[in-house]
């Protein structure tokens, strides 16, 4: 009799915190609770969060995803429409009112805080510089809080060098909430060197969850043969985690949406795997990926803990009379 071949040992350094932040959790809860209270369909403008698994799960519950409000058919005008966690320009709720639509705004409270900071700069007579990525829904939403021409987007140091303000003494900056902490700090330094009178936001714009997840990745990445980040290609904070892992010393870093995307043939013999998840990636997929490695390796899981997150953002009053159960959220949280 031949003894079975033992699976090779593998240590998984599992980042904590990882996955859903309070703003993402709240946004998903809003759609689920709206479906429970009002029934299907509930319309959602843009992906509620940047994760295909989450979107498809909500679709199965009766959510209908649209890009613009005119896509809502006249016979469904009384159905709720939810605005995504990324925030929307002021023109969107104004359009909803004009169309007599009932809307629920799931904008993350920390994104709303950036909106208020940008408006405060303008109220104090400053031109607003927004550090962020062109075309990202959060950037579109933030720029849409102010009149055209009141905000200039800064993506690179070349943008800093090219910017010629009307009044260098009347500038204020805010940032997208999901940026690389290190890259953003470099851009802010470049702006401050060029414009010494630049006014910072009243509070940090990059959100706690982005910072915490990047710090956990920095802890887990050194010495990792492979680092996997669970997240979507259009998720800004997830892509930043891949970059952070590479800078922190992981030999290879990849973004995957599901276990099926893991390139087993390219991985080769690995002994240490780093694993994290972007703020819009559900824990059930993290479990799926760990199970996929357990099928091929003798796995030991070590937690790389750098912070404990206790933040909780309550849903709006209109939905607080509906009970949210663990079963309602099992499609993203598993049996937790």
- Rounded to the nearest 10°, the torsion over CA 248, 250, 252, 254 is -70
Rounded to whole angstroms, the Cα distance separating 6 from 297 reads 8
Rounded to whole angstroms, the Cα distance separating 42 from 62 reads 7
Distance linking the first and last C-alpha atoms of the chain:
42
Which residue in this structure is represented by tokens 């950036």?
Answer: 114
Which residue in this structure is represented by tokens 């169309």?
Answer: 99
From 138, 157, 182, 246, active-site residue: 138
* 182 catalytic residue (yes or no): no
3-state secondary structure of 151: strand
60 neighbors 92 (Cβ within 8 angstroms): no
| Token pair recorded at residue 312 | 């909780």
Sheet holding 171-175, edge to edge: 151-154, 127-131, 171-175
Catalytic positions are: 138
């Amino acid at each position: 009799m031949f003894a079975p071949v033992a699976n090779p040992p593998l240590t998984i350094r599992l980042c904590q915190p990882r996955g859903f932040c309070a703003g993402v959790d709240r946004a998903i809860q809003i759609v689920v609770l709206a479906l429970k209270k009002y029934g299907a369909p509930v319309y959602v403008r843009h992906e509620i969060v940047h994760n295909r698994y989450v979107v498809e799960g909500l679709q199965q519950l009766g959510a209908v995803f649209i890009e613009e409000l005119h896509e809502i058919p006249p016979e469904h005008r009384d159905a709720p429409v939810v605005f995504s966690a990324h925030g929307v320009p002021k023109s969107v709720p104004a359009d909803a009112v004009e169309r007599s639509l009932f809307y629920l705004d799931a904008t993350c409270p920390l994104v709303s805080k950036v909106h208020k900071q940008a408006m405060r700069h303008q109220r104090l007579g400053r031109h607003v510089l927004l550090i962020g990525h062109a075309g990202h829904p959060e950037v579109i939403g933030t720029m849409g809080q102010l009149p055209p021409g009141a905000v200039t987007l800064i993506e690179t140091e070349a943008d800093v060098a090219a910017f010629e303000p009307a009044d260098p003494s009347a500038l204020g900056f805010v940032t997208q909430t999901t940026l690389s902490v290190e890259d953003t700090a470099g851009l802010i330094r470049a702006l401050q060197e060029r414009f010494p009178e630049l006014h910072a936001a009243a509070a940090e714009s990059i959100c706690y969850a982005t910072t915490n997840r990047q710090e956990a990745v920095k802890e887990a990445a050194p010495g990792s043969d492979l680092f996997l980040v669970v997240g979507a290609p259009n998720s800004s904070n997830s892509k930043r985690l891949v970059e952070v892992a590479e800078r922190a010393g992981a030999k290879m870093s990849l973004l995957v949406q599901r276990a099926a995307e893991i390139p087993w043939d390219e991985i080769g013999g690995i002994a240490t795997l780093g694993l994290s998840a972007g703020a819009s990636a559900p824990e059930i997929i993290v479990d799926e990926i760990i199970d996929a490695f357990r099928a091929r390796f003798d796995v030991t899981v070590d937690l790389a803990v750098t912070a404990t997150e206790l933040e909780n953002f309550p849903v709006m009053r209109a939905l607080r009379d509906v009970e949210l159960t663990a079963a309602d959220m099992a499609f993203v949280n598993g049996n937790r």
